[in-house]
Structure 1
């Protein structure tokens, strides 16, 4: 088993234990409000990609109403294949979702494809150098590369912060990370 895979397993276990011990009210309220530093950082960016959380992931989709209230277009990813390719589709909380690979939920076929100006991505772990450890499928690494001008924001529970996340040459650092307790910014672009 690789070092990254061991780290992924440890991060999943730590996240699972944290969420299991979280007060139910605190969980329901987490990530429902768009914090001012994040609102400032996305500023004039029009299309913001979120994701629908699985299991104990930080629930990014809860930010949809706040973003729409600010005039933003919200998008969700749709996996195209099991090789790590995905596209982003316009979405509102009223739109139906369909089942995708790996237990994900996606916009229905025929949804309008959009190019995100900011991508809010799930992760297993992050560090203060804005390194991101994902699930290992490469979907977000490829999306970041396909949309190089998009702001890259991770969303996570605070327990997912590590001292160091190993980065491969193809890994792009995040610009910022939002947790239930803070907004952590990397170097301003």
Structure 2
């Protein structure tokens, strides 16, 4: 099934100067978009995004992914493609309310419930240092800016793994015109994959 085209972002999305208000506006827009897609459209979009990102993931790289919650685009099709390659995968794991690391994960293995009911690998799974982090988003811009859920887990984790290539995974409607608000500790994305395009951030570099 063809992926329906995105509907235009409301003008007020770009006008929010503060992150909390912008985050809520983007969440509402994302939820509306996902509802419009329907289940079959969501699956088609996730598969399209997976095909676009796959050529940019080197064979042999340790790849950290996520398990989708709420209306996030689902990386399951990407997980299947990488698993078929024999790629080493990891998932985020919280071991307190603020600190997120990445633990090795083999698809199909049982998961534990961590803080905030995060589904994560069990405590015996080894920690890994990812070469590439595929991160969920609430919104992004074309300059590497991202806005997340608001708990700063990814913000702190990205700072702790500065050598990892940072790729956002998102619906195309989550792209914000202009630049997102930026804090000094924000780590910019190297690229974003949506169901419609691969978006490199040339000003960030490799």
Q: Same fold (TM over 0.5)?
A: yes
In structure 1, list runs of 5 or more residues that go unmatched.
Answer: none
Counterpart selection for 1:142 from 138, 156, 160? 156
User: In the alignment, which residue of structure 2 is the partner of 1:180?
Assistant: 195
How many residue pairs align between the two structures? Answer: 186
Q: Deviations over 1:3-62 (max 9, x none)?
A: 1100010011010111011132121233236335x3343224520000001111111243
SS, match of residue 22 in structure 1: helix
Counterpart selection for 2:183 from 162, 165, 168? 168
User: In the alignment, which residue of structure 1 is the partner of 2:91?
Assistant: 76
Contact (CA 8 Å) 1:46, 1:117: kept in 2 or not? yes
* C-alpha distance in structure 2 between counterparts of 1:70 and 1:186, whole Å: 26
Which is worse superposed, 39-48 or 2-11?
39-48
Q: Deviations over 1:127-154 (max 9, x none)?
A: 0001000112111111111111100001
Give the 5 Å matches for 1:18-57: 18-32=33-47, 34-35=50-51, 38-44=53-59, 46-57=61-72
User: In the alignment, which residue of structure 1 is the partner of 2:124?
Assistant: 110
Q: What's the TM-score, normalizing by structure 2?
A: 0.84
Larger-Rg structure: 2
* C-alpha distance in structure 2 between counterparts of 1:81 and 1:178, whole Å: 30
Q: What is the Cα-based RMSD across aligned positions, in Å?
A: 1.7
